[in-house]
Amino acid sequence: MKRSVKGTIAAALLLSSLSMGSSAMASSHDVVESHVMGTQVKDSGNFAVISESRFSPMAVQKPIDNVQLSNTYTNASFDIPSGYGWVKVYVKNDGASNIKVFVNDSSGSQLMYGEVKPGGYFSQISSTPWGTGRHTVGVSSPSGNDMQGYISVKLAQNQNEL
């Protein structure tokens, strides 16, 4: 009999602590940053709730998508719209010679630079959000050999989206 009473008391205490913890979590007024866009409505407890029918994915754009490298110099321009300052540049070198990669803004300021060995790739995310406007990715072959490979650029509203 003593064992069943102890087991019952232990189970009751466990359930009691779980319900207190969940009610404390439910009443918390902490702010959570989210990528949810929805309509706020009030539930029966007068808490703000986001309508689940309005979820939208994180916003990412790919203005340059696998542009092929050719000859000894290739460039590709892209525009950064308002709200999309985070940039990822990817260049794949499928050729037999090293290639140089650079990214400039519209004023000519160099924002990224790198060299890629044959079979390698350049993959870099901006360290800070870039300004709006036209930007250019340039790829060149210092040896004068024709290049092979491609360029891709992604834009995002937040760095963790890239």
Residue 7: predicted pLDDT:
56
- Mean pLDDT is lowest, of 17-21, 23-27, 59-63, for 23-27
- pLDDT per residue as tens digits for the range 23-40: 444 443 333 333 444 444
Residue 31: predicted pLDDT:
37
10 and 71 belong to one structural domain: no
Residue 60: predicted pLDDT:
86
List phi, psi (to 5°) of 5. Answer: -70, -45
- Mean pLDDT is lowest, of 42-56, 71-85, 117-131, 143-157, for 42-56
65 and 22 belong to one structural domain: no
67 and 147 belong to one structural domain: yes
66 and 22 belong to one structural domain: no
- Dihedral in degrees, nearest 10, Cα atoms 108, 109, 111, 114: 70
Q: Are 158 and 88 a contacting pair, CB within 8 Å?
A: no
In a domain, 43, yes or no: no
Q: How confident is the model at residue 70 (pLDDT cuts 50, 70, 90)?
A: very high
Residue 27: predicted pLDDT:
41
The phi-psi region of residue 38 (left if phi > 0; otherwise alpha if psi is between -120 and 50; otherwise beta) is beta
**Residue 20 is part of which domain span?**
1-29
Has residue 53 got a pLDDT over 60? no
74 and 143 belong to one structural domain: yes
Region 92-108: mean pLDDT is: 96
CA proximity to 139, closest of 93, 106, 87, 108:
93
Has residue 122 got a pLDDT over 90? yes
Residue 149 sits in a domain of what CATH number?
2.60.120.380
Run of H or E residues at 11: helix 2-26
Q: Are 130 and 124 a contacting pair, CB within 8 Å?
A: no
In a domain, 34, yes or no: no
Tally the domains of the chain.
Answer: 2
